[in-house]
Structure 1
Amino acid sequence: MLAGRLMAGLRPRLPNVHFNGIGGPRMMEQGLVSDVPMDTLTVRGLFEVIPRYREIKGIQNRLRDRLLLDPPAAFIGADYPGFNLGLEEQLRAAGIPTVHFVSPQIWAWRGGRIKKIQRAVSHMLVIFPFEEQIYKDAGVPVTYIGHPLAEVIPLRPDVAGARQALGLAPDARVVTVMPGSRMAEIKYLTVPFVRAARLLAQRDPSLKFVVPMAGERQKAAFTGLVATAGLADVALQIVDGQSHTAIAAGDAVLVASGTATLEVALFKKPMVIAYKVMEASWQIMRHMGYMPWIGLPNILSREFVVPEFLQHAATPEALADAVWRQLEDTAGRARLEQRFTDMHHSLLRNSAQESAEAVLAVIGK
């Protein structure tokens, strides 16, 4: 989605442009020729990458060799710093301009990565306002382009329309449950999330639970885990895609840490954030961080505006209690709505135009 908007901004300015690389459907709509399916590169965690390392490294090397043989006007790495920064470093050393779109979370952990970025990146495009000064201080050319999600999500969500689309009563109390789109997220969060839903249903049997699924593979994994854990009695309304509709319909959202937390904030909804990974990965990662927040709404607010539960703390009981407090706290919901409205305005820019102009400057057009 991010790269697709950048490409849409470039196309009118470069009518004969050719896009080649690795991407998904939004990029292909803009004419991308994708060398490999984007899902091939989807890995989460530290130890989880080990079984896939040779495959992913092989893809990186083949892409590098082809680009060195036939240099592009620019290489644009969209997020995925573990793959893209190493590639960008080699390409920039060979004289190919490199643009990195979406800053690695050097402000959250791995601050030493800034030195690699200085070597690898000709120009950085950042999507959060506080990131711009970090790169200016490091001497890396940078442009704040706003967050594309702030353009996609309306400032005033249509709650009634979303509930009608999902067949929910206008006056129902709705909890949206989002265990993630990556298979590893679903593996670790499905059971605690659904157990939390069961506990909430015991407190209020009229509660409705909506669970958007990113695809058939994710849905099959989710329903399989629910059945294996003996949770088939929990009344869940599973919907295909429609994550934005499901968020808009909710009174509160139980959500995996990641970009979805920002989507929930832009829909002005209370949320409870959870994060769980393989235990070995967690033992390493918990010593790497120096920022107290992991959820994007808290990072942008620089305080805990919504609760976070990490690894062992993400128990069904803790999650259910936190969601229940949000459902019951009318004044707190109003404060969050105003806070998230202000956040939405701060992230709102013409990201396609801003990012395209930065790329054009890099390639001298």
Structure 2
Amino acid sequence: MVAGETSGDMLAARLLSGLRPQLPDSLMHGIGGKHMAEYGFQSDYPMEKLSVRGLFEVLMHYREISGIRKQLMAQLLDEKPEVFIGVDAPDFNLDLEVQLKRAGIPTMHYISPSIWAWRGGRIKKIAEAVSHMLVIFPFEEEIYRKAGIPATYVGHPLAQVIPMEPDVEAAREELGLEADARVVTILPGSRMSEIKYNTTAFIATAKLLLQREPHLQFLVPMVGAKQRAYYSELVLAAQLDEVPILLMEGKSHTAIAAADVVLVASGTASLEVALFKKPMVIAYKMMAASWHVLKHMGYQPWIGLPNIIAEDFLVPEFLQSAATPQNMADALWQQLNDVALQKRLKLRFADMHQDLLRDTAGISAQAVLNLIHNR
């Protein structure tokens, strides 16, 4: 198995929670993180080496990433595992899967690349690379069946992990917040590149909101110590360290549950916020050169997962130059104070939660076992 970042590690761990009891003595290894390790997964390389996003950012790390893939390829071709599972990270995993499949090793890819959003031509490569695709959105299964690629809709694992009715009071008590506090949670991203480009604008947004309401409380969860240190360095360099922030390591779900509104970088985290039924503003910034290339490659008017699933601008999105502190602060202020809007969003997000709710661990584990059996 190969997972390339924190969200992939969590998704893969969900699959392993269903698979490990079925294969208690199997060696499960490759590249993964701490959540996969809880199920006896052995990571041969640090997962952080693959956690790079953006066209030019990847190019800067290409030699190292390519070297890891070549070493892993040689190891797997020699070992001939019962199955290889690529978890997201399509730019890394699909090339690996093509070679493994040609060598007669069954390949499964867990989470479809966003071919319905951009780079739809990749489905030809997917057909060459993947023996079976596990998809997490209902509309994806038909796309693959039409292309002749076996696929199974397993639901979104986060829909099982996140409760239908989050306990706001318990979350605030855990974080030492007053029950009646007005709370804004800020999620600039888990990757170092996301933290680099989003942090300053996101915290400057908090500063503007404080001018409107001085007693607002801000929460910023970070994935780990390295990310937390980098965030603090950026805030200090931007002279925004006077903005009162409760900075924490981990506890992202607790911070979302405790919030009245969330400012979130586009990605899986935006879906987590929707499943917690929270109003949000989605924003994203990246290296200018990467944005110049990527902005012309999308098929849809939305970039946030909640909006894509709904096929509607349920919540505001601000990208690159539009992601200014003023724009984000204005949008967050409306979300924070419009009670009718909050009620509408809660209902839409509850429907979304139901649509994504399946026995993900059980269904995905059975699909893996079937692939091994049919070999």
Give the TM-score band, short-chain normalised: over 0.9
Q: Decide which of 124, 129, 132 is 1:115's aligned counterpart.
A: 124
| Post-superposition offset of 1:39 | 0.8
Q: Decide which of 217, 221, 234 is 1:225's aligned counterpart.
A: 234
Distance 2:42 2:20 in 1: 15
Is 1:205 the counterpart of 2:239 in the alignment?
no
CA-to-aligned-CA distance 1:29-70 (integer Å, 9 cap, x gap)? 211121101111111100001121111111111111111112
The residue that corresponds to 1:162 in the other structure is 171
CA-to-aligned-CA distance 1:54-111 (integer Å, 9 cap, x gap)? 1111111111111111201111001100000000001101111100001001111000
The residue that corresponds to 1:350 in the other structure is 359
Amino acid at match of 1:224: E
Distance 1:280 1:197 in 2: 27
The residue that corresponds to 1:37 in the other structure is 46
Name the SS for the 1:364 alignment partner: helix
Distance 2:180 2:163 in 1: 22
Is 1:67 the counterpart of 2:76 in the alignment?
yes
The residue that corresponds to 2:303 in the other structure is 294
The residue that corresponds to 1:189 in the other structure is 198
Amino acid at match of 1:118: A
Aligned pair count?
365
Is 1:263 the counterpart of 2:278 in the alignment?
no
Distance 2:20 2:332 in 1: 44
| Post-superposition offset of 1:239 | 1.6
Distance 1:24 1:327 in 2: 35
Name the SS for the 1:76 alignment partner: strand
Amino acid at match of 1:304: F
Q: Decide which of 276, 293, 303 is 1:284's aligned counterpart.
A: 293
Name the SS for the 1:255 alignment partner: strand
Is 1:89 the counterpart of 2:107 in the alignment?
no
Is 1:140 the counterpart of 2:149 in the alignment?
yes
Distance 2:98 2:60 in 1: 24
The residue that corresponds to 1:303 in the other structure is 312
Distance 1:67 1:135 in 2: 27
Name the SS for the 2:61 alignment partner: helix
Amino acid at match of 2:341: G
The residue that corresponds to 1:172 in the other structure is 181
Distance 1:47 1:336 in 2: 36
CA-to-aligned-CA distance 1:124-181 (integer Å, 9 cap, x gap)? 0011111111111111000000111111111000000111111111111111111111
| Post-superposition offset of 1:18 | 1.5
Is 1:131 the counterpart of 2:158 in the alignment?
no
Amino acid at match of 2:67: G
| Post-superposition offset of 1:13 | 2.1
| Post-superposition offset of 1:114 | 0.4
Q: CA RMSD in A?
A: 0.9
| Post-superposition offset of 1:212 | 0.9
Distance 1:149 1:6 in 2: 12
Gaps in structure 2 of 5+ consecutive residues: 1-9
The residue that corresponds to 1:318 in the other structure is 327
The residue that corresponds to 1:244 in the other structure is 253
CA-to-aligned-CA distance 1:245-285 (integer Å, 9 cap, x gap)? 10001000001111100110010000000111100000000
Distance 1:251 1:141 in 2: 41
| Post-superposition offset of 1:9 | 1.2
CA-to-aligned-CA distance 1:185-244 (integer Å, 9 cap, x gap)? 111111111111111110111111111111111111111111111112211111221111
Q: Decide which of 322, 341, 361 is 2:370's aligned counterpart.
A: 361
Runs of 4+ in structure 1 deviating by more than 3 angstroms, as ranges, are none
Amino acid at match of 1:58: G
Name the SS for the 2:53 alignment partner: coil
Q: Decide which of 314, 332, 337 is 2:341's aligned counterpart.
A: 332
Name the SS for the 2:186 alignment partner: strand
The residue that corresponds to 2:113 in the other structure is 104
Distance 2:237 2:372 in 1: 54
Amino acid at match of 1:75: F
Name the SS for the 1:274 alignment partner: strand
Distance 1:70 1:46 in 2: 32
Is 1:9 the counterpart of 2:12 in the alignment?
no
